[in-house]
Amino acid sequence: MKNTVCELSDIRENDLSDIVAGGTIGKEIIFLPEVDSTNIYASKLARDGMPEGVVVIADCQKRGKGRLNRVWQSPPGKNLYTSIILRPSIPSHLAPQLTLTAGVAVAELLSQYCPGTVMLKWPNDVQINMRKICGILTEMRIKRGKIDFVIVGMGININMKKEEFQEEFRESSTSLNQETGNRISRTDIANKLYRTFEKWYEIYLDKGFRPIREAWLGYSGILNKNIAVHYKKDVYKGRVIGIDEYGALLLFDEKNETKRILAGDVSLIGEQ
């Protein structure tokens, strides 16, 4: 067990220094006061041979990456930005299941703070009271047809105040501080996140995707709801009937056909 500590003073001030290395996830923790993106940094480490379970955590990101080339707002001293290196022996087309596994872990963790209000929105959003509190970005490298590594990046809004969100996200985003009225320790969240993720990752590796899918649907706010999925210029509409074993969203559309949706932004339509 080894902690690699950079610029400790910065990190200390911002209460990230007590994160405990150990277990299989977080067996080594790379702390960074500032980075372009923890996903980019973790990818470089993984290319250099870092093993599964090493995590990168940063106080702030200068180029935090969101899905679909969006920016993830990542100011210092507020939130959690972390990326986990995984090297699962699964076919590459099943990698989206890891995003859903991470979503279940985050939902379970945040439910400790806000019981009964946490929802998963396909494919990678965690919401509280219909506002986004966490985004997950999973990226992978394939080598000779096999997964070389997967990076699961998670951004959790912890102590961000409403007025600190960029205007365009202010109404649609939230933080644990906003939802509970308390200042929450990032260290506690990070320690719990690695343990909770480890638990669900082990379930996934031991028992496959089925228990993840069940847990995911349990937290899902969209099952049996009518939704629209926007992807680039296309819009797909229908009633959500589940997710398949590849993590694709299953929609029952107006032609009474089942459609598999692999990417896009989901919104509820009509009165539900």
Q: Which spans of this chain sit near ligand BTN (rule: CB under 6 A)?
A: 37-39, 61, 64-67, 70, 72, 81-83, 124-125, 135-137, 153-155
Cβ(59)–Cβ(74) below 8 Å:
no
Cβ(223)–Cβ(197) below 8 Å:
no
Q: Closer to ligand BTN at the Cβ: 122 or 204?
A: 122
3-class DSSP assignment, residue 220: strand
Q: From CA 121, how far away is CA 244, in angstroms rounded?
A: 15
Q: Closer to ligand BTN at the Cβ: 32 or 212?
A: 32
Q: From CA 250, how far away is CA 252, in angstroms rounded?
A: 7
Q: Which residue is nearest to ligand BTN (CB)?
A: 135
Q: Closer to ligand BTN at the Cβ: 88 or 155?
A: 155
Q: From CA 258, how far away is CA 249, in angstroms rounded?
A: 10
Q: Least distance (Å) from ligand BTN to the CB of residue 145?
A: 26
Q: Closer to ligand BTN at the Cβ: 45 or 136?
A: 136
User: Going by C-beta distance under 8 Å and a sequence separation of 6 or more, which residues neighbour residue 235?
Assistant: 228, 229
The two tokens of residue 153 are 């990046």
Q: Least distance (Å) from ligand BTN to the CB of residue 70?
A: 5
Q: At 34, which amino acid appears?
A: E
Q: From CA 265, how far away is CA 1, in angstroms rounded?
A: 40
Q: Least distance (Å) from ligand BTN to the CB of residue 73?
A: 9
Q: Least distance (Å) from ligand BTN to the CB of residue 135?
A: 2
Q: Closer to ligand BTN at the Cβ: 58 or 258?
A: 58
Q: Least distance (Å) from ligand BTN to the CB of residue 59?
A: 12
